[in-house]
A and B are shown apart, each in its own frame.
Chain A
């Protein structure tokens, strides 16, 4: 097998135990092309028999220079890069980015657009958790989970295709609102999903939650305490499974989250099972938010009418000279943003997704930095896998729900 091979101690001298230098333990290479590393993650494992002594992650195989690329584009054109960061959370990345832009240029968003954003990001959260659940099942040899989860995820992607024309690379949220208003079929599609989905979550839980084979692999595996998690910058469901009640949707409500009634599941065990339970519960809570937001979806404009930042509708171009000028200016030069820095964060399915956006007075950003949640969540993995078996590493890694596009950027 080429995926698992022994590696020389060489560059890892300062990171391994002394026994590795004496040749008593073995350094084994896992990845970057290994199905249970969820992408292209390379792990160098120091093994004593099958027990992990040290784990050294090696990242960067998916580094695509997204931050650098965004500096070369105008604020609106740079948004297409955000879909490609964390490819399981496209709507959420769009939201984090447009909120940073709106904060930088001080642009208001109408209530309808805010509610649509909430509905779609919460659907995205469910879709993301479904992929996590499916692949976690796959890693722990529950093949059928993957098929069931992808069946439901497809329904959500159909809704995305309905509103944006794209299944994944949506770029649907724009600074000031959303790209277009949702079509009339939207409400029925979401209602259908709300109707069938709770039963489907019950089905997943029947398959896994009390399954003894599953429990053997997850209970008391990879225990993480809250203080260590915070030290390493761990956020999101992984932090909440370690007993820290911290959710940006509750703590610093954005986009109208304060109007919706939902719970933040928190567990204290901090093991792989707790991370599983928190995410499954989160899917149900997200569905509650979707339903509430859809019930009181306000009518009105779907985007801001501030023509310095938001292009006019197509219908005005033929009749209004001003609209034509705005259209031309916004799509060629773009809008200028002040020379200031903002940091704005949202709760993505994996944790705190922050954007540090620095304008330079011109139409392109000086710097866009992404504080991606998977990055922090991966740094703690070496700590919690120590003393476990290689098979447990697979379970722990699955429960951290890393996305390499999110880590490497």
Chain B
């Protein structure tokens, strides 16, 4: 592990019982949902992680516990290091606390995760869906959501398919 990361990782281990994964030169810190806001604040204020590069989730379906990992990819410009926080989440768990108070960049990212994975965030200032239509059902980036397709219409079956084809509501 990079020397410049040791200080923050030690603090996180002590205060928040964080566990550590290292692969291919990257450091992933696993945290609980209660500790994540404190950990992000610590990273930003005490260890100069100015940039939340991205925030997303990974669906480990068919594994159910934990089903998701919510990922916070942090970057420090001053020290030129990166660090990844991960919070394991089950499917029907209570909402995660929002990180948009710590990093403004989390605002839209959390809206995206909420609509794409169905993981909700407590205290989010603007919980509307970001990209998907308001009447969209399901969460498309979950692994059990089918990759949809449209039946091609030819002259011989045009009307048959047209009857059951969903159109936008008037």
Contact = CB atoms under 8 A, between A and B. Distances in A.
Contacts of B107: 379
Interface in B14-55: 23-24, 26, 28, 50-54
A236 to B, nearest CB: 12
B80 A251 contact: yes
A72 B140 CA distance: 13
B24 A369 contact: no
B26 to A, nearest CB: 6
B119 to A, nearest CB: 14
Contacts of A227: 50
B interface SS class: loop
B80 A352 contact: no
B140 A354 contact: no
Interface stretch (B3-11, B87-95, B123-131, B156-164): B123-131
Contact size range, B = 35 or more
Interface string A216-235: 00000000000100111101
Contacts of B24: 103-104, 106, 340, 342
A232 B105 CA distance: 4
8 contacts: A15-B126, A60-B130, A63-B132, A233-B105, A235-B51, A341-B26, A354-B53, A354-B73
Interface of A: 11, 14-15, 59-60, 63, 65, 67-69, 71-72, 103-104, 106, 227, 230-233, 235, 244, 246, 251-252, 340-343, 345, 352, 354, 356, 358, 366-367, 369, 371, 375-376, 379, 408
Given A71-B143, A231-B103, A352-B75, 20 more contacts: A14-B126, A59-B131, A60-B133, A65-B147, A68-B147, A72-B147, A231-B104, A233-B103, A252-B80, A340-B24, A341-B23, A341-B58, A343-B73, A352-B53, A354-B53, A366-B58, A367-B58, A371-B53, A379-B108, A408-B131
Interface of B: 23-24, 26, 28, 50-54, 56, 58-60, 71, 73, 75, 77, 80, 82, 84, 103-105, 107-108, 125-126, 128, 130-133, 140-141, 143, 145, 147
